[in-house]
Amino acid sequence: MEEFLIEDQTSFYSKAEHYWKEVQPTVDGMLGGYGSISSIDINGSKKFLQKFLGEGPGKTRTGCALDCGAGIGRITKRLLLPLFRTVDLVDVTQEFLDKAQSYLGEEGKRVENYFCCGLQDFQPQPERYDVIWIQWVIGHLTDDHLVEFLRRCRSGLRPDGLIVVKDNVAFEGVIPDNVDSSICRDLSVLHGLISRAGLSIICEEQQQNFPEEIYQVHTLALR
C-alpha cells in the first residue's frame, strides 16, 4: 500500500527535511503545537520503560541509550538522561541538535554524541546501546527503510538491550500526511514490518490521556 503513497522516495525525504527546518526549536515545535502533552507523554514512557530496567537475568541495563529523531532533546532531557549514564542523539536537523546542547543544561555533559543524519542512513555502532528509543519518527521512513533501520538497531543493542517504538497508529491502513511528508501506519502494518526486521514484540501498550483529536499512540518494546 505504501508504494502508492510514496511515489518519489527522494522527494519524500527532502520535503520532510524542509518541513522540519521551518519548525521552531521548542518543545511546542517538536510536538506540532501540542507541547501541553509532553509531561503526560514522558510519564507514560517512564512507567513503560522502568518495567524492563534493572540488574539480573533478562533485565535491561542502564548504561547508554540512543534517542532517535531526538529533535532538541525533549525525551533525552526528561526520560533518558534521568535513567541512563550516557545518551546519544540522532536527528536530521542540525539546528535542533545545536539547540539541544543548551536545552539539556548541565546534564547534557552526559551526552556523548550528537549525530546529524536521517534514520534511513544512520548506522548505530554495534553493541553500544542498552535502549534505542524511536518516537514519533517512523512515519518519515519508507517500509523498506524502516525494516532495514530496525535491523541495524538490533545489531546496535547490548545483551538484553531493548528497542522501543512509540508512535501514532492509524485506525486502518496507511494514511499520508502531505504537510510534513510522513505516513501513519495501522498496527497490523507496523507489526508486519517489525516481523520482517526479525524482531519480536515483548510488550505493547496504548498511551493514555492524550487529546481525543489526535491519533492513538502505542508503545512497543522489541527484541
Contacts of 149 (CB under 8 A, 6+ apart): 119, 120, 122, 141
* Cβ–Cβ under 8 Å, residues 148 and 123: no
Percentage of the chain exceeding pLDDT 70: 97
For the chain, give every domain's residue range: 9-222
* Cβ–Cβ under 8 Å, residues 65 and 132: yes
Cell 497508529 identifies what position?
A: 169
Report residue 131 as a C-alpha cell.
535502549
Position 3 scores a pLDDT of 57
Architecture of domain 9-222: 3-Layer(aba) Sandwich (3.40)
Q: Please enumerate, by residue number, every residue annotated as part of a binding site for S-adenosyl-L-methionine.
A: 69, 74, 91-93, 119-120, 135
Report residue 102 as a C-alpha cell.
543548551
Position 6 scores a pLDDT of 72
Report residue 168 as a C-alpha cell.
501514532
| CA pair distance 189, 1, nearest whole angstrom | 10
b/e burial code for range 107-130 (CB count within 10 A of at least 16 → b): ebeebeebbeebbbebebeeebbb
What is the tens place of the pLDDT at every residue in 163-183? 999 999 999 999 999 999 999
Q: Please enumerate, by residue number, every residue annotated as part of a binding site.
A: 69, 74, 91-93, 119-120, 135
pLDDT under 70: residue ranges of the chain: 1-5, 7
Give the amino acid at 145.
H
What distance, in Å, lies between the first and last C-alpha atoms of the chain?
Answer: 26
Position 2 scores a pLDDT of 58
